[in-house]
Amino acid sequence: MKKTGFTGRIINLDALTYAGNPVSLEDIERQYGGTRYFFEKGDICDRAFVEEVFRKYNIDTVVHFAAESHVDRSILGPEAFVKTNVMGTFTLLDAARKYWRTEAGEMRESAQTGVLFHHISTDEVYGSLGDTGSFSETTAYDPRSPYSASKAASDHLVMAYHHTYGLPVTLSNCSNNYGPCQFPEKLIPLSILNMLESKPLPVYGDGKNIRDWVFVEDHNNAVWTILQKGKTGEKYNIGGENEWENIKLLHTLIDIVARKTGGSAEAMRNTVTFVKDRPGHDRRYAINCAKLKHELNWKREVSFEEGLSKTADWYLANTQWVNGIRSGDYKNWIEKNYGKR
């Protein structure tokens, strides 16, 4: 991760649901806890709590990562996605408007200048592409899953608060993220861990669905760039310019893991299992991130091969983290330190 020169405070607001694991930030807590890093356990749908966080810390910038994000889970239980992604975004927006602005829309004297609400979204709001073309910032929205529909709704709310109330906002739509600390339900960590345990490697449909992948550090650097240089009221696509068929990605990952572990790539390939496709599975995503590159001078720094290698190394070296998630130990840690939800 780039050194940014940032000297301010970060307040991490998280409900610590199934994928929230504060153990992943223990090094940050040790180094900066109580001085520049503060953790607040709570739900972004809890208006009183959110408003209290704004007052307590005099918040001047919101970077809204919080979301239910797994498409399969949204198909099985869409209500949680509507609640968190739509109502949670509304609650944050309205709390920011209340704290930063008067009813007449003017900046409060007590608020700091340069306030900003940055909203993190997804390329899935754009729908599915054919064999050619890519999503730009002006592509019409065409969400196909409860997850992408809930994110599309939140995007529209963010822009509506900008146009209606003058709330200073920026918005980014990113392609598939991957890297260390990703919850093991996602394709890349799930596949790595299944390879290590000789479990089947599930692939939806024919495996030819295409996704654009961006390493988590490149995504975070892009968000930081937007915070520093982005224009209020603008949206920016963040992509890896890195399209891969799911099945080809899996075979590349097999080669990497086999090389690192001394395992048999052939044996791993024999465990590839094609399963029934999920409903509404978009065929292809591709991001055009020229606006971010040319206007804000951002560039991707981690190649896919390098990113996959780093990711595999992290999961190989952090089996305790993985086992803690699988066993539920991290939930006990959360209850001990922060109480039950």
CA distance 94 to 97: 5
Q: What is the CA radius of gyration of the chain?
A: 20
Please, are residues 74 and 68 in contact by the beta-carbon 8 Å criterion? Answer: yes
Catalytic residues: 123-124, 147
Report which residue type is found at 133.
Answer: G
Q: Which run of H or E residues covers position 180?
A: none
The alpha helices in the chain, defined as continuous H runs, are: 26-32, 47-57, 71-76, 78-81, 89-100, 146-165, 187-196, 216-229, 246-261, 265-269, 290-296, 304-317, 319-327, 329-338
- The pair of structure tokens assigned to 327 is 């066993």
Q: What gap in Å lies between CA 172 and CA 140, rounded to an integer?
A: 15
CA separation for the pair 264, 73 (Å, rounded)? 33
Taking the alpha carbons at both ends of the chain, their separation in whole angstroms is: 32
Provide φ and ψ at 235, rounded to 5°.
Answer: -120, 150
Q: How far apart are CA 234 and CA 137, in angstroms?
A: 9
